[in-house]
Amino acid sequence: MAASNLKDMPFEVDLDHRDFVEALAGRAEPADMAWCSLSIHHLQTDGKLRLMQALRASETAAGWLDLGRKAGFPKAQKLFLDPTGFYRLFRYDR
């Protein structure tokens, strides 16, 4: 379904459909990703830990801010950090 929905996009699409823990742990470059959070409950505890470690290591907050500045947004800032540290909200202004 994703391939069909993205086929006419004006950018390159590379869909990597496989085990998400393996995909994150073995990927050297940053990437956007989507997964069904309901599938995480199928993992054993050590698999959940490996997934969370891979997510945390995939790209830092400093990396997101740096990317925004390199893209031409001189006012890149972190607006919000979830109390659990799981997600952040960034703002990019000219």
**Tens place of pLDDT for every residue, the chain, 94 residues?**
878 888 898 988 888 777 767 777 777 776 665 555 567 777 888 888 887 787 676 677 888 899 889 999 999 999 998 898 778 888 988 8
3-class DSSP state of 14:
coil
Q: What angle do CA 90, 91, 94 make, to 5 degrees?
A: 150
Q: What is the pLDDT of residue 36?
A: 56
Q: What is the pLDDT of residue 70?
A: 92
Which residue type sits at 31? A
Q: What is the pLDDT of residue 22?
A: 77
